[in-house]
Amino acid sequence: MSLHCHHDRGTPARTSTQHVTLSIDGVPVTVPAGTSVMHAAAEAGIDIPKLCATEQLESFGSCRLCVVQVKNRRGYPASCTTLAEEGMEVTTENDALFRLRRGVMELYISDHPLDCLTCSANGNCELQDQAGRVGLREVRYADGQNHLQEATDTSNPYFAYDPSKCIVCSRCVRACSDIQGTYALTTTERGFDSRIAAAGGEDFMSSECVSCGACVAACPTAALMEKSVIEMGQPQRSVTTTCAYCGVGCSLNAELQGEKVIRMVPDLNGGANHGHACVKGRFAWGYATHADRITTPMIRSSIRDPWREVSWEEAIAHTASELRRLQEKYGAESIGSITSSRCSNEETYLVQKLTRAAFGVNNVDTCARVCHSPTGYGLKQTLGESAGTQDFDSVMQADVIMVIGANPTDGHPVFGSRMKQRLRQGAQLIVADPRAIDLVDTPHVRAAHHLKLLPGTNVALINALAHVVVTEGLVDEDFVVDRCEAEAFNKWRTFIADPRHSPEATASVTGVPADEVRAAARLYATGGNAAIYYGLGVTEHSQGSTMVMGIANLAMATGNIGRPGVGVNPLRGQNNVQGSCDMGSFPHELPGYRHVSDVATRELFESVWGVPLSDEPGLRIPNMFDAAIAGSFKGLYVQGEDIAQSDPNTGHVTRALESLECLVVQDLFLNETAKFAHVFLPGASFLEKDGTFTNAERRISRIRKVMRPLATYADWEVTQMLSNALGYPMNYSHPSEIMDEIARLTPTFHDVSYAKLDRLGSVQWPCNAEHPDGTPTMHVTEFVRGKGRFMLTEYVATEERVNRRFPLLLTTGRILSQYNVGAQTRRTANNAWHPEDILELHPVDAEDRGIRDGDWVGVQSRAGETVLRARISERMQPGVVYTTFHWPGSGANVVTTENSDWATNCPEYKVTAVQLSRVEQPSTWQKQFAQFSEEQMKLLKQEPAGAPV
């Protein structure tokens, strides 16, 4: 039995507005021009046998199983490569066709193992199905040569390639090139010896393969097969859910035996991913049942004490009484919460509700503080809404794509693949990044311009680009007059036209030659639909918010907003960081980005929540840390966020955490923050609960429970129990009821419901009476704030400067195989690709310091010191070094400083002045960290001695 009820029509659907009518086996059918005969037949309900064709890929015509007869035409054309024509009369079944197909099948089968009963694809194999389809019941092995003895390639941790089962249909090769865009596979030789090979290596693992799994999904036999299926057998049921990793929000089908996940298959109907996934969502779900999961609540009175396992009742009662004790002793404002951008909308909503209604304070913040808070601020100021303007599909209509401070092929891989598809179709690419990211030069894609700016100079660059637009007459005057505030625009035009913003004047600051800037600006302004995609390389700066506004200015000035193919698109990092912000996780905003000082909004929430609400913005995360060190902030509830690893200036963070009297951590694992905690409440993975995530395109998608929570409760239930114990009643029986409350209280979510999500699959907010099915493109006829507002964006150099002591700039980023703090991916086989964080540096900087590839290198900044292994790389420019931050012991944040965005406090992770030197051993911090971690792990296993806590 196949779990895939979607019937594969064999070739991609066409969208032409011209139609042709033909007859297939006497059935008339009308299809868009360019549709294959095979696809047209499927539309008419006729299923033509096929092996090498699949709806996800352009046809290739190699197997010849799909032959048909066309009236008044000679021969037997392949229906997958023959286009439907007006008046065509097609026959799909007759004796001649039957014999031809059977002959084809016999050839395949005679060189194929006949162990169907024990084959891992049994019951889900297209070769088996098609053999039955053409009436082949008995086969003999052909005499002479065959491929049955060839060794299986098991080098990839997640899937195997068994050449004996390969029918050389090249679906994998096409999937890797057309869908994924990696071009890792080729067909070797010709004729009989033809087989699949992974390019650039001996086997899959050593090749260029990025383990996205597209080839495995495309393979019609067991030649490419998930190891989990080989080991455990075919899944029995399937539940559609949403990836819990990045902000792309891929829709995945969890295929199961009982409550056991056998594999994750990308959902063809997924609005964000259309059937594609990456190595994380597709394969790296094993953490969810990893032995490190903590499934019993624990408490202790001091972080030097062993943990004591307790019942849920005791843990909740203890937490509530501690938080109340702190409020009585130190004041109401002495406690607060941090919501999780990995948890669901409903859970995030409940944590902020708990904080505002049960704690009675606005001290709630979220990890977006450290990533995209400037996006929220900057886009709200200019466009009126704190979110990206497009859906991902929009990129397929872009003619010019500008990527600023983002690395989509690593950070947002499925969207990165889509962007590459569009670039291969001919869209032009501008990359603004200190480092040569993969997109700059990948198969069939080369950036028209790589603006290799120095870290920290974004605003100078965006101003220079805008200067060219304004001074070379490239402003879209009609758009500006029609859609934007005239006075603000005129002020901006005068400001930006000043010679100090010219490419020539700023070249010495940005390091980008003036003519490159001019050419890029002209391309962006005149190349057709131009879309900007940006990431943390824009936001995590002292001028992060200014840069976001600069981007919005540029898009408005050139009329690149308000239709498909254009727009301003933040690539948001975590799966639900958009959602956590939407749900009111910021200390100054109630759900839907409404300020706590707004009387009408507060009254609305007060009437539904039944308590008075504070009109004073609460503490942001960095303020919480400062207040903790100063002694006025004493209790913190952290759900699913590892601030000890992810926030800058680790030394400062750990001092703050050590100052707390009650740190409550709710998580899957004893993460770095939990090592400073007094209460540990076990969390539930995305597989263990119902809820919704909102991705970077504002798309709300369901997560669905596929197994019971390992620790009994889903996270929203735990928050609810805590609230009840604090005396503020919450009585939701299902997350859908929480969503109903969100919809009632939030205009942009007004028409969202689980019933609607089940019906539509997903929906992009705003979803209300005006847009009942959601909003793929925003600001279409007018901006959310009415008229678009140009903001002045003066470049101010960061205080973090290089000097003789710290002559290099360190910047940070992500890698494909690991995710964020790594708590999840480090507990999967993904470590095979990235077992440690590496420091990349340019050969010149390495030579100056006598550093060789693979050496240990001490990285000193004004904040601290850590040690990383060196990789010498031409991707870097001289003077700039780079690392990732997925391993806690790397201490990337020991060296990052406390500088932050002027408007939002988003830390300036992307610019740290450092010096490097060759060393022989870990840094002092790393040694202390290792020792502290070891002690904490012992306290986890040790039974407490003496009196109970």
Q: Which does 535 bind (CB under 5 to 8 A by kind): ligand FES, ligand SF4, none?
A: none
- Tokens describing residue 647: 């926030």
Residue 184 in contact with ligand SF4, rule: CB under 6 A: yes
C-beta of 177 vs 601, nearer to ligand SF4: 177
CB atoms within 10 A of CB 405: 27
942 near 308, Cβ under 8 Å? no
Size of the site for ligand SF4 (CB under 6 A): 41
Instruction: Determine which residue in the list 53, 119, 160, 210 makes contact with ligand SF4, applying CB under 6 A.
Output: 210
Q: How far is the CB of 534 from ligand SF4 (least distance, A)?
A: 17
* Contact partner, 168, from ligand SF4, ligand FES, none, Cβ < 5-8 Å per class: ligand SF4
CB of 120 to ligand FES, least distance (A): 23
Residue nearer to ligand FES on the CB measure, 31 or 38:
38
What span, in angstroms and rounded, lies between the C-alpha atoms of 244 and 551? Answer: 29
Binds 250: which of ligand SF4, ligand FES, none (CB < 5-8 Å by kind)? ligand SF4
Per CB under 6 A, the list member of 180, 238, 471, 719 interacting with ligand SF4 is 180
The span from the CA of 445 to the CA of 422, in Å, is 10
Is-cis flag, bond preceding 766, omega within 30?
yes
What's the rounded Cα separation, in Å, for the pair 183 and 188? 14
**CB of 31 or CB of 65, closer to ligand FES:** 65
Contact 872, 844 (CB under 8 A): no
Name residues contacting ligand SF4, limited to 681-710 (CB under 6 A): none
Contact with ligand SF4 (CB under 6 A): which of 413, 579, 766, 813?
Answer: 413
| Torsion on CA atoms 861, 862, 865, 868, rounded to nearest 10 | -20
HSE value, Cβ hemisphere, 13 Å, CA-based, for 938? 8
Integer Cα distance of 105 and 65 in angstroms: 8
Name the minimum Å distance from CB 416 to ligand SF4.
8
For position 176 contacting ligand SF4 by CB under 6 A, the verdict is yes
* The binder of ligand SF4 chosen from 63, 97, 178, 245 (CB under 6 A): 245
β-strands 335-339, 635-639 pairing? parallel
Structural contact between residues 715 and 346, judged by C-beta atoms closer than 8 angstroms: no
Min dist CB 2 to ligand SF4, Å, is 17
Burial 280-291 (b: 16+ CB within 10 A, else e): bbbbbbbbbbee
Q: Which of these ranges, 242-250, 559-567, 884-892, 911-919, lies near ligand SF4 under the rule CB under 6 A?
A: 242-250
**For ligand SF4, which stretch binds (CB under 6 A), given 245-253, 473-481, 683-691, 883-891?**
245-253
- Tell me the C-alpha distance between 707 and 794, whole Å: 53
299 three-class SS: strand
Residue span 586-625 as binding mask against ligand SF4, x where in contact by CB under 6 A, dash where not: ----------------------------------------
Q: Which range of residues in 66-74, 238-246, 437-445, 897-905 is near ligand SF4 by CB under 6 A?
A: 238-246
- The DSSP annotation for 815-839 comes to -TTS-TT-TTGGGSGGGGT-SS-EE
For ligand SF4, give the closer residue by CB, 244 or 480. Answer: 244
Instruction: Identify which range of 211-219, 598-606, 790-798, 801-809 contacts ligand SF4 by CB under 6 A.
Output: 211-219
Q: Interacting stretch for ligand SF4, rule CB under 6 A, among 209-217, 350-358, 586-594, 702-710?
A: 209-217
Residues 768 and 774: beta-carbon distance below 8 Å = no
* C-beta closer to ligand SF4: residue 12 or 651: 12
65 binds, among ligand FES, ligand SF4, none (CB under 5 to 8 A by kind): ligand FES
Tell me how far apart the alpha carbons of residues 342 and 576 are, in angstroms, rounded to a whole number: 6
Q: Which of residues 280-299 bind ligand SF4 (CB under 6 A)?
A: 280-282
Q: What is the smallest separation between the CB atom of 90 and ligand FES, expressed in angstroms?
A: 14
- Give the E-state strand segments of 731-885 in sequence order: 762-764, 808-813, 838-841, 856-861, 865-872, 880-884
E-state strands within 85-201: 89-91, 159-161, 185-188, 195-198
Cβ(825)–Cβ(284) below 8 Å: yes
Task: Please report, as ranges, the residues that interact with ligand FES according to CB under 6 A.
Answer: 50-53, 61-66, 78, 80
Position closest to ligand SF4 via CB:
281
Rounded (5°) CA angle 773-775-776: 115
Task: Report the distance separating Cα 184 and Cα 279, nearest Å.
Answer: 15
- Minimal distance, residue 494 CB to ligand SF4, in Å: 43
To ligand FES, the closest distance from the beta carbon of 477 in angstroms equals 53
To ligand FES, the closest distance from the beta carbon of 219 in angstroms equals: 14
Given 168, 554, 561, 718, the residue binding ligand SF4 (CB under 6 A): 168
Contacting ligand SF4 within 250-279 (CB under 6 A)? 250, 273, 277-278
Distance CA 865, CA 916 (A): 10
Residues that bind ligand SF4 (CB under 6 A): 166-172, 175-176, 180, 182, 184-185, 196, 209-215, 218-221, 223-224, 243, 245-246, 248-250, 273, 277-278, 280-282, 413-414
